[in-house]
Chains A and B, each alone.
Chain A
């Protein structure tokens, strides 16, 4: 991805859950956790374990202090900041995400 870009409105996000956006042909899962400091997180939507584009549809939470999403297919956890998988030796791409003026920005 080249540079920062606005992908959607804050109102497109779902509190404590994820949605998916198409950014330069890449599927990006965007999570909105209003009670955390960072508030929005973005990682690739592709689940390398289950081999499907589904991470945006997983449950979010924290495990031993790491903010994670659990894959909806087989429940592996991915760190929302780094994209690292807690159970398997794989990781997914992590993006920088922020909300500015009610717009969601991904880089």
Chain B
């Protein structure tokens, strides 16, 4: 009706359509949408020739071993349809005892990492193994003639087969030199100790960290918890920790004192002197600290042969030796880890650097190590390495060192290669592959086989040859099969091996001497330690480990620079401020984390970050503390710390740590033999429970046994296809870990202490999350589980907000099904998923299910055999992984079950009991064995 000019300016693209056509199109649209309603067609492809016993969908289990720091831990790996999908412990192996640590659980992500080195890389655009072998032949000829002697650099070697191969190569190539180093440092004597914590009644840790990450963590944790049982000989043990920064050992100690490294060193000598009966001049300490030390020494003296003084790697070599000698005289329960005999020992890394810089190295093989990052991250080393004419790097990734070398050889992962490994206590296990090599890789043995002149070396043959030295040995095949089934070798010893026991170790050439950390010039002492979840840099590209929260601070995706509160206040810095730490060697920058209880004048730094070529996951995270230290010194004095004006808040999964007032009920603590006040049954209008099923599942978690190692967190993630969300989402509070470990400050301001509390889903009998779901996706089943049905969930999130324990996790994005973090969705990563557990889509709520797939499997097996599920037959993933057996799971209706015994324990308590949710997951209180002469009990 408005006849304006605008009505004449009709758009050219107007479609002329009649009503009839419109109706036709409309109906056609409906018909089309209806026709798209049938399910998609699917193919079913059986075998051509089925291998015996390989039923599709049924798991197979193989025993093997995985390395950490060179040493092996026995594991049993579950494979489905030819793909390994879960690592669990091997009960027969002493370094595993049926449990795992975070690194073993996360090893699968390394295997399926899309960024693993897949092809050989040389100088031409496309290279093959034949090209490499051609050049190798030339250089081998030169090496045999003595013109270019072979230089071999490795990290710690604990494989009898590899040792044999190196020894054979040394025979073949005159002038060959073998260098080996441990990225953690060359303070070997202190790192290679096995404390028998179950035989000690008083343990004093001088900066040692037996409960912390390392190849002996599982052994030490199990021994520790065995010693904490009240019925153990000598009663419950008492742990004193004297350290500079917080470690897991300090967090689990009954008494802790924070001192800088040089004072710990002096204190160690004082303690040794007093124990030996010739006290020198006492170290000057504050009154409280001096009282602490005196009482501690009295306790140690009273324990006699049950007293264990444990030296840490930050002490000087002379101090460590003094402590060890004194311990030997008193019969302390301390053993040396398995080590190489003197004639096999490699040279130190410093010798390699010297040879490299004096241009003596022309023929170089770097076997599974990354010195350009973790040993010598300086430009001089990089330039020297670039100048080596035949530098070959064999590794899992095309990393910083490979970038400087002429050849990069892709290495097979331990899960896809034959090998053998010695563990710290000397037990040997055969490493057997779970899957054929995914790419055109070769194992370490095959690469050394190439160097030995073989054209088609086989790792399998090499390993068998190590153990079968007499060709007429008729019992070998039976022995071999037995060793593979059990996962532990016994009854035979190879030619070259590590020997456990008290072998004397010669001190390293350069012994560190922490000088006085004089605060006069305002400088600090930097203490470099392995990262609790990244270790030494091997695992930087491992997304599960990056997202696994650090046990005490719950930070993720970066390392932090930790300072005592007074030092941070002096700098005017708060949590998350970027600090610049500089020494005479170099400078690093990292986010600050204020640690109450850290020694003053000490800067805590951790290894493993600051990589430039780790992969999409690991690049650009954190800082590399090796830039500060000359060589492998882990105690660096004279370090200056300045606050920059930038901020880099650390993504953290826990924001509040203190328990004050009423909150103290969350994690109560008792003395040994103590009990919690009886709560008694609450008045209720509900009648007694009427189970309609023979099983009522429940779980009891012993907070006293939890050392905070995080093995259960990663085990749950692996078993249940829990996604990694990345640092930004973690900062938003959206980390997906179904099981979290709450870390609380349970001490006082003067005496800070930590407590750990793993929190899975409580599986409440009166669950607040169930009545609020509008579509009944959160329902209760007859066995007591609170079940989350993913295909019903529409993503209201009412259940998450109603849960008082906040154990529910929401898929804000398709973290596992289309919107993965970085390259986690690329092939072959999806092959790692557990086929028994749904992979959740976006918009779906998920939570701990008490491993319902395992419950279902056990129930089906029992129903097929017409028998009930036995107590202990069914283990949840977290229960299986825990080194200290803190988690107990079982059937409440079975009167004799372990879980019922635990519930009757006087330490038993329920989380947030006053809310009336009646959780099936309950706890046992933390125990502190305090020295009555030292002030401060469990108040």
A interacts with B: no
A interface residues with partner B (beta carbon < 8 Å): none
